[in-house]
Amino acid sequence: MSYAFDIGARLLYRDALLLVIDKPPGLPVHPGPRGGETLTDHLDALRFGLPRRPEAAHRLDRDTSGCLALGRHAKALARLGKLFAGSAVDKTYWALVEGGPTEEAGRIDLPLARRSDDPRSWWMKADPAGDPALTHWRVLGRADGRTWLELKPVTGRTHQLRVHCAASGWPILGDSIYGPAPRGSALHLHARSLSIPLYPKREAITVTAPPPAHIAEAAAPMGLWAQPSQDV
């Protein structure tokens, strides 16, 4: 798939230190071992007069859409990195899952570890001896044997939301790694909002991204009315 798009049109927030963009689904943020196009290839268009391009301040999976924070220079990246590493940033995701919980809200407290010792592998598993991982969830809607969830990760483990949902018995729709979806399916996971306490004497910066078309369409029977973003 080619991502010949105007990244400036996906800019959600801009100030002297921070940019937040609406990352399209299916586009990796950083180069991988197999090469191919990445979001990094488009970031020069967001310099806005600075000598270097901005860089991602945190991780977002290739198949996950939505809010991605970028630091505009080295000092900004360092400040943002500390905030994300210290769990000071409030992150909210939307997910559509197969089946769903019987309750209306709850938490998943389940440690995670890598499936393999291979440092190139990003696949994870639930493991009592793994790193602590905590996710709060809330039901936003239900229809046709699926559930629309709000997910708030307290920790930031790799693939945390995908593993937590799958281990709970309700895998995220389109997840071909941790769920039954065939390879190449569209993952229904969206980084809905970020709230970043970047400036000590100001309120946290809160940015929201509209859902992509495939999530908006699937969640419409559950009551989602938000205008979807334009898919690439």
Strand bridging mode 11-14 / 55-56: unpaired
49, 59, 47: which is closest to 8 by C-alpha?
47
Can you tell me the distance from the alpha carbon of 193 to that of 53, in angstroms, rounded to the nearest whole number? 23
Can you tell me the distance from the alpha carbon of 133 to that of 161, in angstroms, rounded to the nearest whole number? 9
178, 153, 181: which is closest to 163 by C-alpha?
178
61 is catalytic: yes
Contact 161, 135 (CB under 8 A): yes
Can you tell me the distance from the alpha carbon of 92 to that of 103, in angstroms, rounded to the nearest whole number? 19
The DSSP letter of residue 29 is: S
* Catalytic option among 61, 90, 117, 144: 61
At 75, the amino acid letter reads K
Can you tell me the distance from the alpha carbon of 209 to that of 180, in angstroms, rounded to the nearest whole number? 28
Q: Which residues are part of the catalytic machinery?
A: 61
